[in-house]
Amino acid sequence: MASSDHLLDLIRSAPDVRGLLRTSFEFDVERSECGDGLGLASGASLEPIAGDFTGGAYFLCAEEGGRRPVVFASSDGVSGLIADDLAGALEIIVGLQWRDCLGFSGGGDLEVMLASAQHLERYLVRDNPEFAEERARVASALSLRVVPVPDLVVRLHEAASRTEPHYVVATDDGDAYDGVFGEYSEPRLGGWR
């Protein structure tokens, strides 16, 4: 298992991988200023490591048992634990439409998340036929496993379910972010088509 620092160094030193992570997977290490003023509700600090297109941020938490958990905080006040370390988080980020999978989770129902992931994967492949190749390139460059989507959904569900109480993100004023599980099981206008 590669350390978080090693993985971040690999990303920063490989412009093609850094570019793919930014454009195809919305993990931009050049936007690590996103999420300033945020910490954990417990008072523990967070280390921002990347941002997404909408102002959301990825953070490393303090080390626990040799690992540094990764949390995500969106710009609209939603946050949660996504993995126990950066390698696991990147496998989810690269292998799964994870934010939409959580958003269409029926309040955190694993079966709903699995169904959502299947629909999201179908749309993704249809809209970007090169996506599988991009996933494979990033995974190979960072020595990540290419994990089947259902397994990633289970891992993501397990991590997000452990957000409270230790991984709740809060502003410096003490306002806690909402959890990551969305209440809907499919898009409201027309469902999955």
**CB 85 within 8 Å of CB 142:** no
Mean pLDDT of 111-132: 89
Encode pLDDT of 83-111 as tens digits: 999 999 999 999 999 999 999 999 999 99
Angstrom distances, CA of residue 188 to CA of 24, 106, 120, 170, 191 = 25, 12, 15, 29, 6
Per-residue confidence (pLDDT) for residue 16, from 0 to 100: 95
When pLDDT is cut at 50, 70 and 90, the band that residue 126 belongs to is confident
- Overall average pLDDT of the 34-59 stretch: 90
- Angle formed by the axes of helices 15-25 and 86-95, to 10°? 60
Let me know: does 50 contact 29? Beta carbons within 8 Å: yes
Sequence-separated (6 or more) residues with CB below 8 Å from residue 123: none
Whole-angstrom distance, CA of residue 29 vs CA of residue 35? 13
Lowest-confidence segment of 82-86, 126-130, 131-135, 139-143 by average pLDDT: 126-130
> E strands within 96-158?
none
Q: Which residue has the tokens 């921002």?
A: 48
pLDDT, position 192: 67
Q: What is the mean pLDDT of residues 112-122?
A: 92
Q: Are 49 and 69 in contact (CB under 8 A)?
A: no
- The distance in angstroms from the start CA to the end CA of the chain is 39
Strands 57-60 and 70-73: antiparallel
Strands 169-171 and 79-83: unpaired
Above 60 in pLDDT, residue 1?
no
Token pair 């990147």: residue: 90
> What is the arithmetic mean of pLDDT over 136-158?
96
pLDDT bracket for residue 190 (50, 70, 90): low
